[in-house]
Amino acid sequence: MQKRTLTIEILCEEASKFAASISKRPLKSLYGVTDGKAVGTFLEHQFREHLRKRFQFREGSSAKGIDFPQINVDVKVTSIKQPQSSCPFTSARQKIFGLGYSLLLFVYRKSDDPKNAVTHLKILHAIFIEKKRTADFQTTRTILQILDNGGNEEELAAFMRDRNLPVDDIQAFEIAKEILQRRPEQGYLTISNALQWRLQYKRVIMEADKIQGISRLK
């Protein structure tokens, strides 16, 4: 039987099914595992395997780029204890105009069952974040306020310097010109400056289904 081509719509439908399925399964291989990265890798691999059975798609990897380059979506898995993950840094523009791709977010709660030596992974949230919503919340909110108040290049560049965005003066003015030509969308991630971006998801979890472009799948 020929496999169907994976689309964003199918990805979201299957993410919902996968979240429900994995939440019911006792998992021996994760018993006693405390490394969040290992849990995240396990869940991502399980989800890919779930998709491979029925759909065809080009695979990416965290080392080489986003997980599903064909549909421009990356998968993030995080614990409810501290819902955040790292993300490759490309440029300061990502904080203003978004990461450049959409995110499929799984938020889990892990509990070990000593009696049976198994782990239960409850997927509490599965959320799809369109790329237009992947900028930093506070940065875009303030920029939009500056624009609404008739702000100019100098004020936008000064704001970027005040916020310690990783840009020099020339880059700040180039981005300021771009902002004036192309108004950014309001983002809903919290993105911390680092060698790698640190993405935090509490606001996304709270706002899912309330904001266009942030959909709760589970």
Q: What CATH number should be reported for the domain holding residue 122?
A: 3.40.210
91 lies in a domain?
A: no
28 lies in a domain?
A: yes
Please report the sign of the dihedral spanned by the C-alpha atoms of residue 51, residue 23, residue 64, residue 160. Answer: positive
Q: Does residue 37 share a domain with residue 13?
A: yes
pLDDT digits (tens, 9 = 90+) for 144-200: 999 999 999 999 999 999 988 889 999 999 999 999 999 999 999 999 887 678 899
pLDDT digits (tens, 9 = 90+) for 90-141: 889 999 999 999 999 999 999 998 888 888 999 999 999 999 999 999 999 9
Q: Does residue 156 share a domain with residue 120?
A: no
Q: Does residue 58 share a domain with residue 149?
A: no
Q: Does residue 61 share a domain with residue 22?
A: yes
189 lies in a domain?
A: no
Residue 32 vs residue 135, higher pLDDT: 135
Domain count within the chain: 2
Q: Does residue 111 share a domain with residue 67?
A: yes
Average pLDDT, the chain: 92
pLDDT digits (tens, 9 = 90+) for 131-142: 999 999 999 999
Q: Does residue 150 share a domain with residue 72?
A: no
pLDDT at 61: 62
pLDDT reading at 1 higher than 90: no
115 lies in a domain?
A: yes
Q: Does residue 125 share a domain with residue 17?
A: yes
Q: Does residue 155 share a domain with residue 204?
A: no
Across residues 201-205, what is the average pLDDT? 93
Q: Does residue 141 share a domain with residue 211?
A: no
Q: Does residue 107 share a domain with residue 24?
A: yes
3-state secondary structure the chain: CCCEECCHHHHHHHHHHHHHHHHHCEECCCCCCCCHHHHHHHHHHHHHHHHHCCEECCCCCCCCCCCECCCCEEEEEEECCCCEEEECCCCCHHHHHCCCCEEEEEEEEEEEECCCCEEEEEEEEEEEECHHHCCEHHHHHHHHHHHHCCCCHHHHHHHHHHCCCCCCHHHHHHHHHHHHHCCCCCCCEEEECCCCEEEECHHHHHHCCCCCCEEECC
13 lies in a domain?
A: yes
Q: How far apart are CA 155 and CA 161, in angstroms?
A: 10
Q: Does residue 158 share a domain with residue 208?
A: no
89 lies in a domain?
A: no
Q: Does residue 124 share a domain with residue 37?
A: yes
Q: At what angle do helices 137-148 and 153-162 cross, to 10 degrees?
A: 150
Please report the sign of the dihedral spanned by the C-alpha atoms of residue 212, residue 199, residue 81, residue 35. Answer: positive
Q: Which domain holds residue 177?
A: 137-181
Q: Which band of pLDDT confidence, cut at 50, 70 and 90, is reported for residue 48? A: very high
51 lies in a domain?
A: yes
